[in-house]
């Protein structure tokens, strides 16, 4: 036999003898190839067997496979002639009992809790009346119908649904991506940003709910800035997203009840508050009126308030005639004093003194009158513009002059040439016919 013939014979013998096996062991050397196939080994205390799981079957594993997990693998035994090895081709894989799942759950919970993802300080209050609610769930299950029905009954609200797988391979990544996608919506954009998120799934086994125990989902819920309600499974089911969310609901329907109030109850509450407000204002008004009446009762009557003023008025009325007589007497005294200063003899004397002063001032004014000077033989020289000429240079520059005498004016012209006698001296001897004491007109 050739090596190939021997290998093929061994392969047929093994596959026919072990066509269906279930093997329990601990995963070791786990590796996910780029093709999506899984390669691992199952071991116990004394032995190891290699295993392979093709991409199609690997996508249906309800949990994240990793080293150290105690699992039960179902498949068929075969050989790999290229390495002279036998191995199990795994068709399905499950954790070895609920105890193993719970142990893995506690391990993951402790690890995420140490990161502070479950701290109570991270919890935020839910909005009292959200305008937009985002729901992360399967679009075809009964969960979304129950949520929409309950919201419609309580308070109709705009709902955005992000469809995801809720179990199996890839479910955890889709749920985490949906939470982060809602959180990344920009306010005021074409898609409205939710005020509240609900992550929901119906009931199932611990394996069915395992996607909501994955670290990627827990971190997405803890880091989300939008308040989040987790509603995974039934009331008795607990997943790790419940610890990271802001509020846990026992069922998806209960999540809808937490999200919005009952509209009719709000209307009734508003009506009750309005009635209480009206009643309160009525009581305040009544108490105010009572206090006003009480204060008014303690106030004195109008007559008592006016009595002092009446008495004061009467007192002033009694004092008025005497005050008037006193004022008249004082005014009469001042009038007598003023009249004494205006006696006729005194007035006449003052008038005579004023007349004498006025006559002296008149004589002084007459002596200073230019006309009186003209009557004594002087003349006043002015230019044609009416300006007084006071020098010979000014007269020669003017050209034409007016000589003002006591009985009138005579226009004269100056040719600009000076006589010999005038050029010799500014003070020439008296000319014939001119009085010896009279000055020249051009001096």
Model pLDDT for residues 306-321, shown as the tens digit of each residue: 888 888 888 888 888 8
**CATH topology assigned to domain 3-96:** OB fold (Dihydrolipoamide Acetyltransferase, E2P) (2.40.50)
Q: How many CB atoms lie within 10 A of CB 75?
A: 22
Mean pLDDT value across residues 214-227: 94
pLDDT at 374 over 80: no
- Domain range annotation of the chain: 3-96, 105-119+130-264, 371-416
Going by pLDDT thresholds of 50, 70 and 90, the confidence category of residue 419 is: very low
Tokens found for residue 144 = 């979304």
State what percent of residues in the chain have pLDDT above 90.
37
Look at residue 430 in the predicted model and tell me its pLDDT: 39
Look at residue 355 in the predicted model and tell me its pLDDT: 86
Mean pLDDT value across residues 394-414: 85
pLDDT at 369 over 80: no
In this predicted structure, which of 28-32, 178-182, 210-214, 234-238 has the lowest mean pLDDT? Answer: 234-238
pLDDT at 439 over 50: no
Q: Tell me the range of 4-18, 139-153, 409-423 where mean pLDDT is highest.
A: 139-153
pLDDT at 92 over 80: yes
Model pLDDT for residues 324-346, shown as the tens digit of each residue: 888 898 988 888 887 776 667 77
Look at residue 435 in the predicted model and tell me its pLDDT: 45
CA-CA distances (angstroms) from residue 389 to 40, 374, 440? Answer: 141, 16, 13
174, 178, 180, 184 alpha-carbon torsion, rounded to 10°: 140
What whole-number distance in Å separates Cα of residue 209 and Cα of residue 237? 9
Q: Which of 125, 114, 116, 69 is nearest to 93 (CA)?
A: 69
Look at residue 341 in the predicted model and tell me its pLDDT: 66
Model pLDDT for residues 25-81, shown as the tens digit of each residue: 888 899 999 888 999 999 988 899 999 999 888 888 877 788 888 888 999 998 887
Mean pLDDT value across residues 248-260: 93
In this predicted structure, which of 10-14, 149-153, 219-223 has the lowest mean pLDDT? Answer: 10-14
pLDDT at 273 over 60: yes
Q: Which residue has the tokens 């990161």?
A: 115
Domain 105-119+130-264 CATH assignment equals 3.40.50.261: yes
pLDDT at 279 over 80: yes
Model pLDDT for residues 179-189, shown as the tens digit of each residue: 999 999 999 88
Look at residue 97 in the predicted model and tell me its pLDDT: 66
In this predicted structure, which of 186-190, 244-248, 265-269 has the lowest mean pLDDT? Answer: 265-269
Look at residue 443 in the predicted model and tell me its pLDDT: 45
Going by pLDDT thresholds of 50, 70 and 90, the confidence category of residue 432 is: very low
Q: Do domains 3-96 and 105-119+130-264 have the same CATH topology?
A: no
pLDDT at 427 over 80: no
């Amino acid at each position: 036999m050739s090596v190939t013939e021997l290998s093929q014979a061994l392969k047929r013998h093994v596959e026919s003898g072990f066509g269906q096996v279930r093997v329990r062991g601990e995963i070791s050397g786990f590796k996910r190839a780029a093709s999506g196939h899984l390669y691992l080994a199952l071991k116990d205390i004394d032995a190891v067997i290699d295993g392979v799981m093709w991409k199609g079957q690997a996508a249906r594993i309800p949990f994240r496979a990793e080293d150290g997990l105690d699992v039960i693998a179902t498949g068929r035994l075969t050989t790999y002639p290229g390495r002279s090895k036998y191995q199990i081709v795994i068709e399905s894989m499950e954790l070895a009992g609920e105890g193993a799942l719970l142990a893995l759950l506690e391990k993951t919970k402790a690890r995420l809790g140490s990161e502070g993802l479950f701290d109570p300080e991270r919890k935020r209050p839910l909005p009292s009346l959200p305008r937009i609610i985002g729901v992360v769930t399967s679009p075809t299950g009964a969960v979304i119908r129950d949520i929409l029905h309950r919201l419609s009954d309580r308070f109709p609200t705009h709902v955005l649904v992000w469809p995801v797988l809720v179990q199996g391979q890839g479910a955890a990544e889709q749920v985490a991506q949906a939470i982060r996608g809602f959180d990344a919506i920009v306010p005021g954009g074409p898609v409205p940003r939710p005020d509240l998120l609900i992550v929901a799934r119906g009931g199932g086994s611990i394996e069915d709910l395992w996607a909501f125990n994955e670290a990627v989902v827990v971190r997405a819920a803890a880091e989300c800035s939008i308040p989040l309600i987790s509603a995974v499974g039934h009331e008795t089911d607990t997943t790790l997203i419940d610890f990271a969310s802001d509020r846990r609901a026992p069922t998806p329907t209960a999540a809808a009840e937490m999200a919005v109030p009952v509209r009719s109850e709000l209307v009734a509450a508003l009506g009750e508050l309005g009635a209480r407000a009206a009643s309160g204002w009525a009581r305040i008004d009544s108490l105010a009126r009572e206090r006003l009446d009480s204060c008014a009762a303690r106030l004195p009557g109008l007559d008592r308030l006016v009595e002092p003023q009446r008495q004061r008025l009467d007192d002033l009325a009694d004092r008025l005639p005497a005050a008037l007589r006193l004022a008249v007497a004082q005014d009469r005294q001042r009038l007598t004093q003023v009249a004494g200063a205006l006696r006729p003899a005194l007035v006449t004397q003052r008038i005579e003194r004023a007349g004498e002063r006025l006559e002296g001032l008149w004589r002084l004014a007459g002596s200073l009158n230019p006309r009186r000077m003209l009557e004594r033989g002087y003349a006043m020289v002015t230019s044609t513009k009416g300006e007084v000429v006071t020098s010979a240079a000014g007269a020669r520059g003017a050209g034409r002059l007016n000589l003002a005498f006591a009985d009138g004016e005579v226009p004269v012209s100056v040719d600009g040439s000076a006589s010999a006698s005038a050029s010799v001296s500014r003070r020439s001897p008296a000319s014939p016919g001119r009085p010896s004491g009279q000055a020249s007109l051009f001096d």
